Amino acid sequence: MEQMKELVESVLESAAEHQLWSPHDTIVVAVSGGPDSVALLHILYEIALNRIPLTLICAHVNHGFRAESAEEAESVRAMARELGLPFEMAEFDIPSLVKESGLGPEGAARQKRYQFLIDTAHRYGARSVALAHHADDQAETVLMRMLRGSGPSGLGGMRWKRTEKKVELIRPFLRINKTALVELCQQEGFSYAEDASNLKTEYRRNAVRLELIPTLEEYNPRVKQSLLQLSEIVQAEDEFMEAAAAKCFDELVLVDSGKCSLKRTSFTAVPSALQRRLIKLILNYLSADSSSLDFSKIEAVRRGTLQEHPTVWSLNLGSGLTCMRQYDTIVFLSKPPKQQLSYTYRLSLPHPRIEIKEIGKVLTMSVLERENFSVLGEDFGEMLAWFDSSELVLPLTIRSRLPGDTIRVMGLNGSKKVKDIYIDDKIPSSERSAIPLVCDGLGNIVWIPGVRRSMHAAVGRHTASVLLLSLEDKEKSEEA
- Whether the pLDDT of residue 378 is over 50: the answer is no
Q: Which residues contact 256 (CB under 8 A, 6 or more apart)?
A: none
Please name the residue ranges forming H helices in 293-370: 295-306
Fold of 2-231: Rossmann fold (3.40.50)
- Most trustworthy range by pLDDT among 6-10, 402-406, 455-459: 6-10
How large a percentage of the chain has pLDDT more than 90? 60
For the chain, the helix, strand and coil percentages under 3-state DSSP, each to the nearest 5: 45, 20, 35
Q: Which range is least confidently modeled, 43-57, 93-107, 250-264?
A: 93-107
Q: What is the mean pLDDT of residues 279-304?
A: 85
- Whether the pLDDT of residue 430 is over 70: the answer is yes
Residue 312: pLDDT band with limits 50, 70, 90: confident
User: Is 374 assigned to a binding site?
Assistant: no
Beta-bridged to residue 439, according to DSSP, are 397, 445
Q: What is the mean pLDDT of residues 311-330?
A: 88
What are the structural domain ranges in the chain?
2-231, 253-333, 344-479
Q: What is the mean pLDDT of residues 109-117?
A: 89
Q: Which range is least confidently modeled, 66-70, 82-86, 93-97, 373-377?
A: 373-377
Residue 379: pLDDT band with limits 50, 70, 90: very low
Helices 2-18 & 35-50, crossing angle to 10 degrees? 80
**What's the per-residue H, E or C state across 241-269?**
HHHHHHHHHHHHCEEECCEEEEEHHHHHC
* CATH 3.30.465.60, applies to 253-333: yes
Distance of CA 268 to the CA centre of its chain: 21
The whole-number pLDDT of residue 204 equals 85
User: Is 390 assigned to a binding site?
Assistant: no
Q: Which range is least confidently modeled, 114-118, 377-381, 467-471?
A: 377-381
Task: State the CB neighbour count (10 A cutoff) for residue 448.
Answer: 24
- Fold equal for 2-231 and 253-333: no
User: Is 320 assigned to a binding site?
Assistant: no
Residue 381: pLDDT band with limits 50, 70, 90: very low
**C-alpha angle with apex 208: 164 to 171, nearest 5 degrees?**
30
Secondary structure element (H or E) that encloses residue 284, with its range: helix 272-286
Distances in Å between the Cα of 425 and the Cα atoms of 146, 279, 326, 403, 428 are: 48, 27, 12, 18, 9
Distances in Å between the Cα of 40 and the Cα atoms of 58, 136, 178, 203, 224 are: 11, 15, 11, 25, 21
Residue 98: pLDDT band with limits 50, 70, 90: low
User: Is 34 assigned to a binding site?
Assistant: yes
For the chain, how many residues are written? 480
Q: What is the mean pLDDT of residues 135-158?
A: 93
User: Is 257 assigned to a binding site?
Assistant: no
The whole-number pLDDT of residue 309 equals 86
User: What type of residue is 45?
Assistant: Y
User: Is 388 assigned to a binding site?
Assistant: no
Whether the CB-CB separation of 329 and 261 falls below 8 Å is answered with yes
* Overall CATH class of domain 344-479: alpha beta
- Residue with the bigger pLDDT between 478 and 109: it is 109
- Whether the pLDDT of residue 372 is over 80: the answer is no
**C-alpha angle with apex 469: 465 to 473, nearest 5 degrees?**
155
Tell me phi and psi for residue 101, to 5 degrees: -90, -25
Q: What is the mean pLDDT of residues 348-368?
A: 88
The whole-number pLDDT of residue 371 equals 67
CA quadruple 205, 209, 210, 213: dihedral, nearest 10: 130
Whether the CB-CB separation of 437 and 345 falls below 8 Å is answered with no
